[in-house]
Amino acid sequence: MTDRNRKKRFEVVFTEAEFAVSCKIIRDNETGADKDENIKDNALMEKLCSLHDGFWDFKNTNTRELTHGLHNYPAVMVYPISRNIIRIMNEVAPPTTLLDPFAGSGTVLVEGVIGGIKEIYGNDLNPLAKLMCEVKTNPISGKNLETAYNQLMMAVEYEMACVNYDDKTADYYVSAECGADIAAKDGWATDAPCYLNDYLTQKGVQLSVPEYKNIGYWYKPQVIIDLQIIKNCIAEMPETPEKNFIWLAFSELSRVVSNRRNGEFKMFRMPADKVLSYNPDVKREFIEILKRNIGKMSDFSELCQKNEIAPQISVLSENSINLYGVPDNSVDLVITSPPYGDSRTTVAYGEFCKLSLQWLELDGVSAETVNAVDRNLMGGKKYRNGFEYTLDSETLRLSLEKIKDSDIERAGDVFSFYCDLDEAISAIAKKMKQGGYQFWVVGNRTVKLVNLQTDKILVELSQKYGLTHIHTIDRNIPNKVMPSLNSPTNETGIKAATMTNEHIVILRKQ
């Protein structure tokens, strides 16, 4: 949408004249709670109206400051969006309880902390997202981190010297002595644990080797050895917040030194020649990540200390259609960005985190859980042979009719996603206090050449859960890590631009 159109759309909701009339109507006809809510709506609209065109685009902002930059994650919501929403709400109706039911890497939660909100709930079904949210919102002083870092690196240096005591690397052993092709899909890749156990036995070194499926496909031999040494040293650390901070750095390390193609959130491996020439120095990469992260966490911790911030934070790992861990009628501000669609055809959050989760072996997160993350996220349920349309959105019904004509299975995927969204809207509404505001950042994707207007669908679905639509802001996406092109028909060679803009839908609980 062009700036001019955006302005036009804005004015349709509230021109100055309408604004004055609406204020008068409020004064004349309304009493009690209704009146208070309308005054808040008006104050919110006035603030939004005062912002310049393109305000919400945040084109040249460094979006990785403070703990925002500790770990990569797909489709992150850039922090200035939530920072400005919280700033505006602090001026209009200061919130005491914030919820992000699709918290991902924890951007909204970090901003809630900085914005001085007292009670903060985050939720995400992806176990790695939970770890990220916990670490990023828990301030640790630079001094404590430096101490933990020094102790850990002393142990790592020592253990690495014991295992890598000669020039015969695991890569040399596997390729030169065993004659296996390190870049092939079979051989080394399928039998990695056997090769590594033989290598360690030959050297007379005791080290357990990981046995995850395909580990040899995603890592070179020496990288696996070095990662395992570091992992063992972290596991030996005392149970402190510093340890979780370091686990998160290790998670980032396990992705950086893998054979994955960089800059992608789907699991694609580098081409074979690149795998052969890629020899990351695992210890050096770890030191770099740790130093960078210590700097970011120290800044965050100093800011919290300076502003005397000590919020109560709860991070849940539930399906957002339930949210049992959040008390009913307790939340006065929701800021969230749900997925754009199901994991299979949009962003595969579970796939992105798989290597990390396999290495981390988090408590209560089994191999089955890791493999099932994407299936359990929104839209994971399959409707292969059609479905009965049951949702309260005419816009969605019309879009599904069109998709159904060309592909009944894709229509089923889309229906499945919006069924989950509908249930999530219902669950989130239950958690809201009367008069509480919700800010949903959503994107409208295209399936089979049909544009799914999630911003409109969200507004229509939310009505029956007692949510009033206040306004929708359009924003351009200058720097989100998303594919800029996709194949809307799934036909080779046919591409369409997608997701160059998104919408911030504002709702209020009646």
Ligand X SMILES: C[S@@+](CC[C@H](N)C(=O)[O-])C[C@H]1O[C@@H](n2cnc3c(N)ncnc32)[C@H](O)[C@@H]1O
Site membership for ligand X, residue 75 (CB under 6 A) = yes
Binds ligand X (CB under 6 A): choice among 45, 48, 70, 77: 77
Site membership for ligand X, residue 73 (CB under 6 A) = yes
Site residues for ligand X, 253-272, by CB under 6 A, read none
Residue with tokens 């400005």: 84
Q: Which stretch binds ligand X (CB under 6 A): 119-127, 166-174, 187-195, 459-467?
A: 119-127
In 61-141, alpha helices (H): 79-92, 107-114, 127-137
Query: Which of 290, 251, 246 minimizes the C-alpha distance to 72?
Result: 251
Shortest separation between residue 336's beta carbon and ligand X, angstroms: 7
* CB-facing half-sphere around the CA of 352: CA atoms within 13 A: 25
Consecutive H or E run containing 402? helix 394-406
Binds ligand X (CB under 6 A): choice among 67, 97, 105, 169: 105
Q: In the numeric block, which tokens belong to residue 322?
A: 């339930």
Site membership for ligand X, residue 337 (CB under 6 A) = yes
Shortest separation between residue 70's beta carbon and ligand X, angstroms: 12
Binds ligand X (CB under 6 A): choice among 339, 341, 436, 488: 339
In angstroms, rounded to a whole number, what is the distance separating the alpha carbons of residues 429 and 510? 10
Q: In the numeric block, which tokens belong to residue 20?
A: 């004055």
Q: Are 342 and 115 in contact (CB under 8 A)?
A: no
In angstroms, rounded to a whole number, what is the distance separating the alpha carbons of residues 207 and 223? 14
Site membership for ligand X, residue 189 (CB under 6 A) = no
Site membership for ligand X, residue 377 (CB under 6 A) = yes
Q: In the numeric block, which tokens belong to residue 364?
A: 């209560």
Site membership for ligand X, residue 126 (CB under 6 A) = yes
Q: Are 125 and 202 in contact (CB under 8 A)?
A: no
Query: Which of 189, 249, 190, 251 minimizes the C-alpha distance to 220?
Result: 189
Q: Are 467 and 363 in contact (CB under 8 A)?
A: no
Cβ count near 384 (within 10 Å): 9
Site membership for ligand X, residue 104 (CB under 6 A) = yes
Q: Closer to ligand X at the Cβ: 37 or 455?
A: 455
Shortest separation between residue 131's beta carbon and ligand X, angstroms: 12
How, if at all, do strands 331-336 and 496-497 pair? unpaired
Q: Closer to ligand X at the Cβ: 66 or 189?
A: 66
Q: Closer to ligand X at the Cβ: 169 or 319?
A: 319
65 by DSSP, 3-state: which? coil
Per-residue binding letters, 23-62, with ligand X (x by CB under 6 A) = ----------------------------------------
98 by DSSP, 3-state: which? strand
Per-residue binding letters, 293-332, with ligand X (x by CB under 6 A) = --------------------------xx------------
Q: Are 216 and 189 in contact (CB under 8 A)?
A: yes
Q: Which stretch binds ligand X (CB under 6 A): 231-239, 333-341, 431-439, 500-508?
A: 333-341
Binds ligand X (CB under 6 A): choice among 129, 182, 192, 355: 129
Query: Which of 342, 297, 344 minimizes the C-alpha distance to 113?
Result: 297
Site membership for ligand X, residue 349 (CB under 6 A) = yes
Q: In the numeric block, which tokens belong to residue 131?
A: 């770890």
Site membership for ligand X, residue 102 (CB under 6 A) = yes
Site membership for ligand X, residue 80 (CB under 6 A) = no
Q: Closer to ligand X at the Cβ: 304 or 441?
A: 441
Angle at 242 (CA atoms; ends 241, 244), nearest 5 degrees: 65
Tell me the residue number closest to ligand X, measured at CB.
104
Q: Which stretch binds ligand X (CB under 6 A): 91-99, 100-108, 156-164, 174-182?
A: 100-108
In angstroms, rounded to a whole number, what is the distance separating the alpha carbons of residues 151 and 289? 16
Q: Which stretch binds ligand X (CB under 6 A): 99-107, 263-271, 275-283, 386-394?
A: 99-107
Site membership for ligand X, residue 416 (CB under 6 A) = no
Give the binding site for ligand X (CB under 6 A): 73, 75-77, 102, 104-105, 107-108, 123-126, 129, 319-320, 337-339, 349, 377-378, 420
